[in-house]
Amino acid sequence: MTGAISPDLIHSHGLTDEEYLRIKSILGRDPNITELGVFSVMWSEHCSYKNTKIELRKFPTTGPSILVRAGEENAGVIDIGDGWAIAFKMESHNHPSAVEPFQGAATGVGGIIRDIFTMGARPVFLLNSLRFGPIKGNSAVARQNRRLFRGVVAGIAHYGNCIGVPTIGGEVAFDESYNGNPLVNVFCLGVLRHDQIARGAAAGVGNPVFYVGSETGRDGLAGASFASRDLSDESKKDRPAVQVGDPFKGKLLLEACLELLASGAVAGIQDMGAAGLTCSTCETASRGGTGVEIDLAHIPKREPGMTPYEVLLSESQERMLIIVRRGEENRVKEIFEKWDLPYAEAGRVTADGMMRVLDHGKIEVEIPAKELAEEAPIYQREAVTPPPADWLRFDQIAEAGARESLLRLLSDPTVASKNWIYRQYDHTVRAGTVVPPGSDAAVFFVREAGKFLAATCDCNSAYCKLDPREGAKIAVAEAARNLICSGAIPLAVTDNLNFGNPYRPENFWQLRESVEGLAEACRRFNTPVVGGNVSLYNESPTGSVDPTPTVGMVGLIEKERWITRQGFQQEDDLIWLVGGLGDEMGGSLYLRSIHGLKIGIPPRLHYDKALAVHQFLIEAIRSGWVQSAHDCSDGGLAVALAESCISGEVKIGARISIGAHGGRTDELLFNESQSRILFSSRPDSKAELRLLADRHKIDLIELGQVGGHKLEVTVGERVIGWDVDQLFDSWYFSIERSIA
């Protein structure tokens, strides 16, 4: 086998000449072809983070509520009180979804669910953050984007609905940079008690190692390496690298593993995700400071004639590796047979620190587990600052009519109602969804723990393209603001860093700036990072995606009466804007959607202002004064007003008066200055709200009242009006019309 290792073969496995020399040094010899494949997947960016590990160390990862830190296990775990905890994480399945959107998205959901129940937690809900190219129009590109969009949504719905975990929220955005390279980021949260936390370590020398779940096939072969290179016109040939999911088998595996963990028979457990059997064996051994020996002859296989290379690198779905306590083998077998799952006692834990793989007793792979799993080369890539973003001369841009502009912004797929998507998701399963998809944050009642959790996913990639550091800071701030608007106190963050090829210096600069922005903002908002994912090489032949550091954030609502929704609630409530009228237009949706311009300096985030606004609103909510709350983000004040009229349980108008304004009306209505929240209150709380705002030293503007069948905005002496039904029609049916 040694003679088969040529420079071309090394490079085709994504390894450099220097990395190959390092492999030889670790082994003390040349690897065979199977060992080369094992190193190629474990040392890929997808598994090793070799181009980003230095940057990821900048994140804050500690805090009094952190029970399992980022990087220690499959997902982070945080305390939520009364002996209960939550495990949550976000992962990407971008490349597979570009090649095979249905299965790529479906298996992304299946993989993130397994990450959660591997921790001993019962998965209770899902979110997703999706990005596509524009779907409007009849061009070949738009038709392709619609195909990807339909397939991804169908795949997410299929897996989540079948396994019985509700998808309760998230975000979807559209931009030309994602043409041919959609981003599919999936988030899952599970609940567990502190004493139920499971570990992914091969503990106990002599303990048997069990394989359980679906049979191993050739689907997903070398998927980790596939996800660590650019997409190209040849990517359709990579369909074998896209896994095929079986949510019904996934449900059986979920229930069997949770029952098994409750039995006390498990010494360690690991999902077979990226890099499949290879990753699960070497990572459990490395974490445990032990070795693992398995014989591939015992692995259940779906297809005849599979080579050791194929078995080890397959990423077939719904599979787990279980380290069983000696003497508990029969109990484990009984549980697997009860749930009708294929299983095998495949090997044992050893004391020599080696990942040793046999095939019918013949050694095929013998590699030090720690060096394979934890000592991949780490690189500091070159970072080059690109030319600054174009300075915005807003006075040189023609003012578009406010009335028509609002209707167009509401129909922009990034802002428009995502009901076409959400009605495909069963968000009612488990009967815990309190605030359903479509609000600033979803709210879920975790019945086991008696806790109300709010969760959101956020990122404005247009800001990140223009200023990645500021855009990343704003992503954290917007996520926190969305949770605050729901009545929740933010707890912690998981992230998904989506960027282009890190070997391009401008791309790596974007990544480094974004990470530092995220880290800074997480510290200021007291939301440590408990885990996440890096997805690089998001490039198609037309170029790189805009930098998209997606933030998933979770918060806790201590009392049910503090749950707040974004839609206006009843006639005659007062409407307020906290945080000022603003005037920042750079990178705004108005410029992008109405004028076709992605230019300017994006809004600046001011932490003291943001934190004061958050504290003000939380105190107002807890005092019982707030009827609804909605953050001002894409489209600014006008879009926030319209959504508050049309996105609640009832459609209701509003009468707004801003008074004399020296600037342009479009700047007033559509600017995206940060840390602003639109909220409504009962009329009798006016004095208390003003006193509270004075105490926090923030701007509080009384805008008008809820009521009627129109949204009427008076600016000085000019009155602009929209029928609520017209606003609703533009917003609610836009995506459905685009893909019809």
CA distance 314 to 276: 6
Q: Strands 167-174 and 183-193, how do they pair?
A: unpaired
Strand-pairing partners, residue 350, are 291
Closest CA to 96 of 286, 228, 280, 223: 223
Tokens standing for residue 398: 């023609």
CA distance 166 to 435: 13
Closest CA to 41 of 302, 218, 229: 229
Active-site residue flag, 93: yes
Please count the CA atoms within 13 angstroms of the CA of 523 that sit on its side-chain side.
Answer: 8
CA distance 334 to 349: 22
Q: Are 161 and 425 in contact (CB under 8 A)?
A: yes
Catalytic residue among 11, 13, 93, 360: 93
- Residue 494 backbone phi and psi in degrees, to 5: -120, 150
Q: Are 729 and 675 in contact (CB under 8 A)?
A: no
Closest CA to 517 of 587, 588, 468: 468
CA distance 398 to 566: 32
Residues 6+ apart with CB under 8 A from 309: 33, 34, 37
Catalytic residue among 11, 13, 46, 614: 46
Closest CA to 274 of 44, 75, 99: 44
Closest CA to 566 of 442, 730, 427: 442
Strand-pairing partners, residue 557, are 452
Tokens standing for residue 433: 């969804």
Closest CA to 493 of 416, 568, 550, 418: 550
Tokens standing for residue 689: 């709200």
- Residue 739 backbone phi and psi in degrees, to 5: -105, 0
Helix (H, G, I), strand (E, B) or coil at 287: helix
**Chain CA centroid to CA 3, Å:** 44
Burial of residue 608 (CB within 10 Å: 0-12, 13-18, 19+) is: exposed
Give the angle subtended at the CA of 108 by the CAs of 375 and 78, to the nearest 5°.
70
Q: How far is CA 407 from CA 171, 415, 496, 641, 724, in A?
A: 20, 11, 32, 12, 11
- Just list the catalytic residues: 46, 93
